[in-house]
C-alpha cells in the first residue's frame, strides 16, 4: 500500500510538472502581449481557448483531478486577459 501512495505522489508531481511546462508557453505569450499592450495572436485562438478551457475545467472538476483542475484554471486567466487587451485596443483605435 505504501508503494501505491508513493507511486501516486510521484505521478502527481510528474503531472504538475507537465502542466507547468505546457502552461509556460501561454505565460510567455501573455507577457509578450502585455509588453506590446495588445494581443499578438488571432482573436479566434483566444475565444476557442476560453471555450475549451471552461469545458475542460468542467470535465476536470467532474473527474476530481487536481492537476487538470489547476492547469485549466490558470489558463483561463490568461485567455480572459488577452481578450480584455483585444477589447482595450479596439476601443482605443475607435
Place of cell 499592450: 37
pLDDT band per the 50, 70, 90 thresholds, residue 1: low
- Selected residue with higher pLDDT from 5 and 36: 36
75 exposed, middle or buried (CB, 10 Å; 0-12, 13-18, 19+)? buried
Range of the domain at 64: 2-93
Indicate whether this model's pTM tops 0.75: no
- What pLDDT, on a 0 to 100 scale, did the predictor assign at position 4? 84
14-26 pLDDT per residue, tens: 888 878 887 888 8
- What pLDDT, on a 0 to 100 scale, did the predictor assign at position 41? 84
45-91 pLDDT per residue, tens: 888 889 888 988 999 889 899 998 998 899 999 999 999 999 999 99
Q: Using CA atoms in the order 6, 21, 52, 37, what is the torsion angle rounded to 10 degrees?
A: 150
Our count of domains for the chain comes to 1
- Selected residue with higher pLDDT from 44 and 88: 88
> Where residue 36 sits, what CATH number does that domain have?
1.20.1280.290
Amino acid at each position: 500500500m505504501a508503494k501505491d501512495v508513493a507511486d501516486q505522489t510521484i505521478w502527481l508531481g510528474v503531472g504538475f510538472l507537465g502542466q507547468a511546462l505546457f502552461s509556460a508557453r501561454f505565460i510567455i505569450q501573455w507577457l509578450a502581449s502585455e509588453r506590446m499592450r495588445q494581443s499578438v495572436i488571432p482573436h479566434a485562438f483566444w475565444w476557442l481557448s476560453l471555450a475549451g478551457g471552461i469545458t475542460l475545467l468542467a470535465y476536470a472538476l467532474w473527474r476530481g483531478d487536481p492537476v487538470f483542475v489547476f492547469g485549466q484554471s490558470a489558463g483561463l486567466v490568461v485567455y480572459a486577459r488577452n481578450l480584455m487587451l483585444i477589447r482595450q485596443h479596439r476601443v482605443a483605435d475607435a
